[in-house]
Every structure is written in structure tokens, then in C-alpha cells.
Amino acid sequence: MFDWLKQFLPKGLYGRAALILILPILTIQLVVSVLFVQRYFTDVTQQMSRNIMPELRMIETELRGAASAEAGFAAAASRASGLGLVLTRQDEVQTEDGRVFYDFSGRVVIRTLREAFESLKGVDLSDLRTVRLSFDSPHGPYQLQFSRNRVTARNPHQLLVYMLATGALMTLVAFVFLRNQLRPIRRLAVAAEAFGKGRTVPYRIAGASEVRAAGAAFLDMRARIERQMEQRTQMLSGVSHDLRTPLTRLKLGLAMLGDGEEVQALERDVEDMRRMLDGFLAFARTDALEGDAEEVDPAELARRAVDDAHRMGRHVIFQGAVGEGVALWRAGAVRRALDNLISNAVTYGGMAEVSVAILEKSVRFTIEDDGPGIPEDKREEALKPFVRLVPGRNQDQGSGVGLGLAITADIARSHGGSLRLGESERLGGLKAELILAR
């Protein structure tokens, strides 16, 4: 039922923690302000307004009991002066109330005085320091003026100002503390994201005990993964290099036997074994890519791959790039992935088209061909190493050992991306999308 609210909430940990911090403070200040204004401040204003009522009634009684208007106003003015009031006669009675829009206590003053005096016709509080009351009497209208401090508390806003200032100061202190607590979490997230993209950034364990435990677990996990990758690479490289020696002896022995049909068949088998060993080495190198990540222009990288394919006599068309920008990649590995996809496309199809889309957080390379493609139910299996399973793309049409797509998928994963296979709507063959994080 609160799904609609989630789209307005912060997505990051820092924003959510700040919201958890600020929301209670604002709620407490709002509740205290409402209680202070409605209960304490309103009650005080009502009580002070009632305290001046006897003096106002005394002036009203003095005027009503006088025999003439001159005598009544003279006696009332003298008594008002002794009470700290200023009495003035008016030509006509004022019937409108006046106050500034933010004068909340003035509303209480007007309501309290009007309830007590029927002869009160107007209350002017437009001057925050003075109260002017307009009365009607048998001897004519008059006005009483006195200080505003007699009906409202002096500086009632001080509590609110102190409360807001203290809340702002405590919020600032809490923000500094919160930032220091969240900084190790953000560093851990950056290190984990970089490792997912095939980069290793320095990370030092810091923060609270829970964050330290998570950081230590991440470092252990990263060390185990790197150790497994190194062991796998060493094993494949060792096996491939060890097999090259007997393979070389076989080639020399076959060269000494002559050029018979059986010898030619054996030479083809030896050549297939050589290609398989080269594939093993290439597959092993995908987990041990040399060099550090560097800024690469994706469009220029794809254009160079297409140009090199042209020089090899392959029919490849570069469709251009959408968007612009650079990415932080291992250029050699990404180039190897593009070469594998282009080679795969022209091997099983007559032509290939290459396009690039540079997005905000990723880059998508699209390679399409006009070959037989791969059935949808076989595409996931086609990404596995040493797999050659599709009748339309079998060993008779290509010279690979089933490692091209697996190597490309490994390179994509090491750069925080993926390799997706689909059907080309324009050419009718396979569409391979190499998606890499920027």
C-alpha cells in the first residue's frame, strides 16, 4: 500500500539516513510549537487581555455616568491617563479590525476583548507595539490606546527561535557524525563495484564493527576469487604448454613420413589440436588480463576493430555510434571480445554490421550477421566453454573449439557487463550485444 511513496524516497543510504535523522527532529519541533502556541501562549494572551478589562470598564462607566459629553470625556481622560491609557474622541466610530497576517496572538486579543465589551466596535493591531480600541458611547465614539505589552507576552518568539537554532545546530552535528559513519560503507560499495567491473581498488577496513566485519569478508572473498582465477589460469596455461612439446614432435615425425593421404589426415588432426591449445591459452588469459584499466573511446575502439577486419578481407560494416564519452576499461580485453564477435559473425554469415550505443552508465556494442543464428533455447548453453552445439553453426563451418563466445562473456563479466544473444531483425541472423559498464 506504500509502493507509491517509495518513488519519492531517497534511493541512496546517505539520503535515507538523513531522512531518518531529520524527520524526528522536525516532528518534535512541530509538536512543541503547536503545543506552545495553542496552549501556553494562547492561555497567557487571554489572561493578559482579561487583566486590562477592569480598566477599560472603568473608563466606559465614567463616560456613561457623566451628565454631559464634555464633562464625561474630561473625567475619563484624566482617569485613563492615570491608568496608562490614552483617550481620544472620534468623529465616527471605527468598525473594522486590523492586524498583520502573522500576528497569531492578535487574533486571540481581538476575540477576547470583543466577547467582553458589546460597545467595542473595532480593534486596530496593525502597529505591533500599540493597541487601539474603538468604542461607541451615548456621548459619541472614542478611542483608547495603550501598549501592546499589556495584552501579549514580550518576545514570544524567543522560544521558537532558540528551538530552531538548537535543532539546526544538532542536525549539523548529527550530519557530520552520520557522514563519518557512512563513509566506510560507501568505500566498501565502491570497492565491490570496481571489483565487479574487473578493477581492484585499494580498500582499508574502517567504521563500526558491523562495517568492519563486512569489509573483512569482502577482502577475504576478493582474495579467494583472485586466487582461484590465478590457479585456474596457471593450470590451463601449464597443461597447454606441456602439450605443445609432444605436439611439436608429432609434427616433425609426420613431416618425415611423406605426403600420403593418411599423413595428411594426421596433420589435420595435429592442426586441430594446435588450434585447441591456442583456444585454451586464450580462454586462460581472459582471467589474467594484463595491464591496468584506462580511458577508452568506445566508438573509436569499434571503428578500429572494423578497419582491421576489412584489411583481413572480411565484409564488416560500421553503422556508427550513438552518444559520446569515454569508458574506463582494459582496452586489450575489450578489443579481443569485439574481434571474437566479429570473427564469429563473418565465419557463420556472409557479412556483419557493428554499431555502438554510449549510454550514461554503460556501453552497448551490437554485432549482427546474416547467418543461420542460434535457436533461443540454445543461446545460454552457447556461452559455455567448449560448447559447439547448434547445427547451423557447427564445426564444419568454423574452425573454433567453442571458446569464442565463452571468452567474450568472461571479458564482459570482468567489466561489470554481460553478453546477450538474440535474433537480428534486419539481417535475420544472430545479434550479439556486448554490454559493458563505463
Q: Which residue has the cell 585447441?
A: 276
- pLDDT score of 132: 94
**Could you read off the pLDDT tens digit of each residue along the chain, which spans 438 residues?**
667 777 777 777 777 777 887 888 888 878 877 777 667 778 888 999 999 999 999 999 988 888 888 888 998 999 999 999 999 998 888 888 999 887 878 889 999 999 999 999 999 999 989 999 999 988 889 999 999 999 987 766 677 778 778 878 888 888 888 888 888 888 998 888 888 766 778 888 988 888 889 999 999 998 898 888 777 777 777 777 777 778 788 877 877 777 777 777 888 778 777 777 776 666 666 554 455 678 899 999 999 999 999 888 889 999 989 988 899 888 888 888 899 899 889 888 888 999 999 998 899 999 999 888 888 888 888 887 766 654 444 444 444 556 778 888 888 888 888 899 999 888 888 999 999 988
Q: Which residue has the cell 470598564?
A: 57
In residues, how long is the chain?
Answer: 438
**Cut 0.85: pTM above it:** no
Alpha helices in 297-415 (DSSP H): 298-311, 331-348, 379-382, 404-414
Q: What angle do CA 82, 83, 88 make, to 5 degrees?
A: 85
**237: exposed, middle or buried (C-beta count within 10 Å: 0-12, 13-18, 19+)?**
middle
- pLDDT score of 364: 94
Residue type, 183: R
- pLDDT score of 176: 84
DSSP 138: T
Q: Which of 56, 57, 84 is nearest to 147 (CA)?
A: 84
3-state DSSP call for residue 31? helix
**73: exposed, middle or buried (C-beta count within 10 Å: 0-12, 13-18, 19+)?**
buried
SS (H, E, C) 41-83: HHHHHHHHHHHCHHHHHHHHHHHHCCCCHHHHHHHHHHHHHHC
3-state DSSP call for residue 234? helix
* CA distance linking residue 143 with residue 133, whole number of Å: 5
Handedness of CA 60, 61, 64, 68 (dihedral sign): negative
Q: Which of 271, 268, 276, 343 is nearest to 305 (CA)?
A: 343
